[in-house]
Structure 1
Amino acid sequence: MEEIPSLPETLQRLETIIQAQGLDRSQLLDPAELATRTALAEDTVRTLLAGGLPPSDTVNDRARARISTLAKVYLQRSGRRMSDLAADISRELGISENWARQICEGRKVPNLEITHGLAKYFRVDGGETFFTAPADEALNRALQPVLHTLEKPENDPVQALMNRYGVKGTDLRTHGSMTRRQLERLLEGVFRSVLPEEEDTDR
């Protein structure tokens, strides 16, 4: 199994690629997006990206904060209420709605079994360690797919192209670097270059 690099090494390797290929660092290492993906505070992500140290906290502090953050993001995206979320988690995990609400609001620390259930409910990577890993490890885990794609683009050429041209979403939404039509023409050219030409059946 390939050893996972430390966060400083990951950032150094990403920085080398960004400079060598002229990539947009703000697109690849967007603190707001990474904060959402990791349930870390955006200020913490910015500090870590700048080479700073993670905040001093306890496992309980991390779990409360990240579960609360994840719940808030879920409610904002879904348009649901906290009472709805608490009711869902109550049914899924077999706990009272009051207990579920206090956990989602960051006021109570769940036990390991409930933490595991929350990881499955919210479909987060890393299982319960998503909530308990130190901030630098959490950010490093989120950056590994980016590093892997950029270092080995042959494994995901479309994603590599999207990263190269600053396109975040797989739905081809652009963020100022290319129009949708430009991206479609780019991908069309790539596909034509790697796919065999069709034979003319009329001859």
Structure 2
Amino acid sequence: MRDSQAALTETLRRLDALLQKAGKDRSDVVDVEALSYESGVPPEVVTVLLRGESVPEEAFGTRIRSRITHLRETRRRPDGNRYSYNEIGEHFGSSGAAISAIVNSGGRSGPLAATQAGIESFFFGTPNGFLSAETAPALDTALQPVLRELERADDSGQDGLFGFDDVRGGALRRAQGLPEHSWKVLNATLKALLEQDELEDDR
């Protein structure tokens, strides 16, 4: 499995663990169309990635062109029409013709970093890497609000499990979803701290 999919795999593992605790399944919280909207990844590709499968990555330029097209289709003007290339370009001092050339070029390379940042700033208010993000990381980013909402619900449902009302309580609750190797590191750290505390008490 490629490194670019590691974060998505971990997010899905945590998501499923929280859903299992809540007695729910993915269909209760995961909306393929909404994830496609947020990530720029086509719905059919989102479905494949959610199954834990990998997909071929588009060439850099192809990915950026498809994301620009996606943004123009899904983030429209108040009157329902698509933003023109001129409107987008004027936002950061470029021309509509230059942006149109990027979308219609068919080449493997993408726009200059400043152009990419300008287009992202037009649609999101700030550059955020949306246009160039690889497929799996883009979906992982779109899943984060879903995961955070499940974690908040899990925290609120376990307020009585840990005797801390500060950051320690939340940290301990989230630690329940750690993978095995991370548990071993945490366990060793806590053991060392407890042993150190006992030594200080004996002095």
- Corresponding residue for 1:173? none
Alignment of structure 1 residues 120-199 onto 2, 5 Å: 120-123=121-124, 127-153=127-153
Aligned partners of 2:20, 2:71: CA distance in 1, in Å? 33
- Corresponding residue for 1:194? none
Q: Which has the larger radius of gyration?
A: 2
**Amino acid in the other structure paired with 2:151:** E
Aligned partners of 2:24, 2:79: CA distance in 1, in Å? 33
Aligned partners of 2:61, 2:149: CA distance in 1, in Å? 33
* 1:7–1:140 contact (8 Å) kept in structure 2: yes
Unaligned runs of 5+ in 2: 1-5, 158-203
% of aligned pairs identical? 29
Over 4 Å off, 4+ runs = 104-108, 154-157
Alignment of structure 1 residues 5-154 onto 2, 5 Å: 6-23=7-24, 25-75=26-76, 78-81=79-82, 84-103=83-102, 109-123=110-124, 127-153=127-153
1:139-162 deviations in Å (ceiling 9; x for gaps) = 1111122212212338899xxxxx
Local SS of the residue matching 1:131:
coil
- Corresponding residue for 2:167? none
- The alpha-carbon deviation at position 14 of structure 1 amounts to 0.8
**TM-score computed with the length of structure 2 as normaliser:** 0.63
| Count of aligned positions | 150
Aligned partners of 1:141, 1:48: CA distance in 2, in Å? 13
1:37-78 deviations in Å (ceiling 9; x for gaps) = 101111111110000103232222211111111111123875
Aligned partners of 1:41, 1:19: CA distance in 2, in Å? 27
Unaligned runs of 5+ in 1: 158-203
Aligned partners of 1:114, 1:103: CA distance in 2, in Å? 10
* Alignment root-mean-square deviation, CA: 2.8
- Corresponding residue for 1:193? none
**Amino acid in the other structure paired with 2:96:** E
Aligned partners of 1:19, 1:121: CA distance in 2, in Å? 40
- Change in CA separation of 1:156 and 1:135 when aligned onto 2, cut-off 3 Å: farther
* 2:89–2:119 contact (8 Å) kept in structure 1: no
**TM-score computed with the length of structure 1 as normaliser:** 0.63
* 1:115–1:128 contact (8 Å) kept in structure 2: no
**Amino acid in the other structure paired with 1:100:** I
Aligned partners of 1:29, 1:102: CA distance in 2, in Å? 36
- The alpha-carbon deviation at position 131 of structure 1 amounts to 1.3
